[in-house]
């Protein structure tokens, strides 16, 4: 269990933070996810694709957390992005990163979730399972998002027109 | 698949994850021959990589060290384990009447008492079944019956794919067969002996009224069904074996697969 925690804690935390959940709340959710995993395994339930299982539980708890937070205070805090201390060399990278993140921020939530889960290394089938959508919907979502990311990053798509 | 003689972004996205079903071979051959599509694939993969990097770098700064949360989790797990051990010990050392109601809500205890009274009333009239008797179905009425399914059907099915609801008319027929016309149906789950998730059929020969009030009740059997389904899909138990074991002696199967003499 501790080995699983070591391996999946940061990916789960990142995913939860991408919902703009505050770090202490995200930590609490991760604890809840692993306690649920413990109960799940103790009851002898399926051990297949535990990574997907963890993300699915985290996703559901994140949605629940956000609904609760919205009821309590409608205004969500903006995420902070620290600027690098070495601006000369890293300025271009940082600008690019901010450009990409700005594009992602403007995406619908489902598309953001698909991208985030992909960034955490989940396969399309696993993403579909976590979000409760079809494989085709995952592909559509990624196609749309990657096209926007590519435009923001100025990578061309000239060959289809050739 | 192809658009303007090239792979579409969707094709490339699916191909990257090995999910392009129709025309995958042709797509791979095209990719080998087409510099433009290879270049596009590299761009798409690059976009994912760049996003993944930006995503991590923007969020990693908010992560706290793992040591504290790890210790907290360990402590919570230990507390949970100790609580379970203490609970089990308390149940084992307490008198039988306490054990009967240990950890149960008053409503369950009340349901048990009502069920006992109803059973008594039926036996006083000289017929019917006791709840405990029905923990295991009567073989002549419910031997268990399967559909013609493959492992792919069983493991590819989602919850929505396997209809579990038993029609009211069939439920009534099951109650009639077991001679429990006077009992309240909500004391029982008309359950599949071989669960549909393991290929059980919806025939009456695969259905019996399983009491909620018995120690080996419908909820306990549900746990076994989940367990066996997981084992079958993980390739650790043969589907036919799972079907046979659950239909011949599901309580024995529970004890075998949960390594316990009593339900959790």
Structure tokens at B91: 């149940």
- With contacts defined as CB-CB under 8 Å, which chain B residues touch A34? 73
Residue A86 placed within a domain: no
Mark whether A49 and A98 lie in a shared domain: no
Task: Check if B58 contacts A (Cβ < 8 Å).
Answer: yes
Residue A81 placed within a domain: no
- What's the confidence (pLDDT) of residue A97? 78
- CA-closest candidate to residue B169, choices B196, B190, B151: B190
Residue A137 placed within a domain: yes
Give pLDDT tens digits for B109-144. Answer: 566 666 555 555 544 444 445 545 677 888 888 989
Residue A41 placed within a domain: yes
Choosing from A27, A43, A74, the residue where a domain stops is A74
Give pLDDT tens digits for B137-192. Answer: 888 889 899 988 888 888 875 544 455 677 777 888 888 888 876 556 566 778 88
Query: Distance of CA B230 to CAs A10, A34, B197, Å?
Result: 28, 20, 10
pLDDT tops 70 at residue B81: no
Q: What parts of chain A have a pLDDT lower than 70?
A: 70-90, 153-162
The C-alpha atoms of residue B138 and residue B193 are separated, in whole angstroms, by 11
The percentage of chain B sitting over the pLDDT mark of 90, rounded to a whole number, equals 5
Residue A162 placed within a domain: no
Angle between helices A2-17 and A50-72 (to 10 degrees): 40
pLDDT tops 60 at residue B5: yes
- What's the confidence (pLDDT) of residue A46? 75
> What is the count of structural domains for chain A?
2
Choosing from A40, A74, A108, the residue where a domain stops is A74
Structure tokens at A103: 């594009």
Mark whether A68 and A134 lie in a shared domain: no
Mark whether A63 and A100 lie in a shared domain: no
- What's the confidence (pLDDT) of residue A127? 92
Q: For chain B, count helices (H), then strands (E).
A: 11, 4
Mean residue pLDDT across chain B: 76
Mark whether A111 and A147 lie in a shared domain: yes
Average pLDDT of B218-224? 82
Residue A149 placed within a domain: yes
Q: Do B234 and A135 touch (CB under 8 A)?
A: no
- What's the confidence (pLDDT) of residue A162? 43
Q: Which CATH number covers residue A34?
A: 1.10.1740
- What's the confidence (pLDDT) of residue A58? 93
The model's pTM is: 0.52
- What's the confidence (pLDDT) of residue B161? 45
Q: Do A157 and B51 touch (CB under 8 A)?
A: no
Residue by residue, DSSP assigns B223-256 as HHHHHHHHHHHTTSS-HHHHHHHHHH-HHHHHHH
- With contacts defined as CB-CB under 8 Å, which chain A residues touch B76? 31, 35
- What's the confidence (pLDDT) of residue B126? 41
Q: Where are the beta strands (DSSP E) in chain B?
A: 2-3, 6-7, 188-192, 207-211
The C-alpha atoms of residue B58 and residue B109 are separated, in whole angstroms, by 54
- What's the confidence (pLDDT) of residue B153? 82
- What's the confidence (pLDDT) of residue A110? 92
- Is residue A38 within 8 A of residue B80, CB to CB? The reply is yes
Give pLDDT tens digits for B43-75. Answer: 888 888 888 888 888 888 888 888 888 888 888
- What's the confidence (pLDDT) of residue B139? 83
**B 11-40 residues with CB below 8 A of A?**
13-14, 17, 19, 36-37, 39-40
Give pLDDT tens digits for A33-74. Answer: 998 888 888 777 777 788 899 999 999 999 888 877 766 655
- With contacts defined as CB-CB under 8 Å, which chain A residues touch B10? 139-140, 143
Cα nearest neighbour of A7 on chain B:
B66
Task: Check if A94 contacts B (Cβ < 8 Å).
Answer: no
Mark whether A70 and A139 lie in a shared domain: no
Choosing from A74, A102, A123, the residue where a domain stops is A74
Mark whether A98 and A58 lie in a shared domain: no
- CA-closest candidate to residue A140, choices B25, B8, B18: B8
- What's the confidence (pLDDT) of residue A65? 83
Mark whether A67 and A101 lie in a shared domain: no
- What's the confidence (pLDDT) of residue B183? 56
- Is residue B208 within 8 A of residue B143, CB to CB? The reply is no
The beta-carbon neighbor of B9 closest among A5, A27, A147 is A147
């Amino acid at each position: 269990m501790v080995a699983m925690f070591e391996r999946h804690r940061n990916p789960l935390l990142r995913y939860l933070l991408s919902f703009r959940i505050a770090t202490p709340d995200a930590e609490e959710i991760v604890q809840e996810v692993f306690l649920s995993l413990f109960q799940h395994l103790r009851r002898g339930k399926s051990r297949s694709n535990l990574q997907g299982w963890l993300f699915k539980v985290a996703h559901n708890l994140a949605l629940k957390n956000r609904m609760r937070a919205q009821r309590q205070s409608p205004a969500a805090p903006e995420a902070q992005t620290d600027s690098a201390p070495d601006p000369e060399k890293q300025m271009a990278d940082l600008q690019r990163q901010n450009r990409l993140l700005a594009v992602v921020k403007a995406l619908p939530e489902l598309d953001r979730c698909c991208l985030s889960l992909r960034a955490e290394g989940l396969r399309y089938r696993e993403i579909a399972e976590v979000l409760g959508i079809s494989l085709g919907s995952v592909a559509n979502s990624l196609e749309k998002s990657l096209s926007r990311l590519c435009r923001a990053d100025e990578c061309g798509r000239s060959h289809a027109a050739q | 698949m192809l658009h303007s003689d090239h792979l579409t972004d969707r094709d490339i996205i699916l191909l990257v994850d090995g999910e392009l079903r129709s025309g995958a071979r042709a797509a791979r051959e095209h990719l080998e021959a087409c510099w433009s599509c290879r270049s596009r694939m590299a761009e798409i993969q690059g976009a994912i990589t760049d996003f993944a990097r930006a995503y991590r770098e923007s969020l990693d700064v908010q992560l706290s060290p793992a040591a504290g949360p790890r210790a907290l989790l360990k402590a919570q797990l230990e507390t949970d384990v100790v609580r379970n051990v203490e609970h089990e010990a308390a149940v084992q050392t307490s008198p039988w009447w306490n054990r009967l109601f240990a950890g149960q809500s008053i409503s369950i205890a009340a349901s048990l008492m009502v069920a006992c009274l109803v059973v008594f009333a039926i036996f006083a009239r000289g017929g019917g079944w006791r709840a405990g008797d029905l923990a295991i179905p009567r073989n002549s009425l419910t031997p268990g019956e399967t559909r013609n399914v493959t492992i792919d059907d069983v493991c590819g099915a989602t919850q929505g794919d396997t209809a579990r609801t038993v029609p009211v008319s069939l439920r009534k027929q099951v109650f009639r067969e077991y001679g429990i016309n006077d009992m309240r149906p909500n004391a029982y789950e008309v359950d599949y002996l071989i669960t549909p998730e393991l290929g059980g059929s919806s025939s009456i020969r695969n259905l019996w009224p399983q009491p909620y009030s018995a120690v080996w009740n419908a909820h306990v059997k549900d746990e076994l069904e989940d367990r066996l389904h997981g084992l079958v899909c993980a390739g650790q138990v043969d589907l036919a074996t799972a079907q046979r074991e659950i239909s011949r002696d599901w309580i024995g199967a529970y004890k075998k697969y949960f390594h316990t003499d009593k339900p959790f």
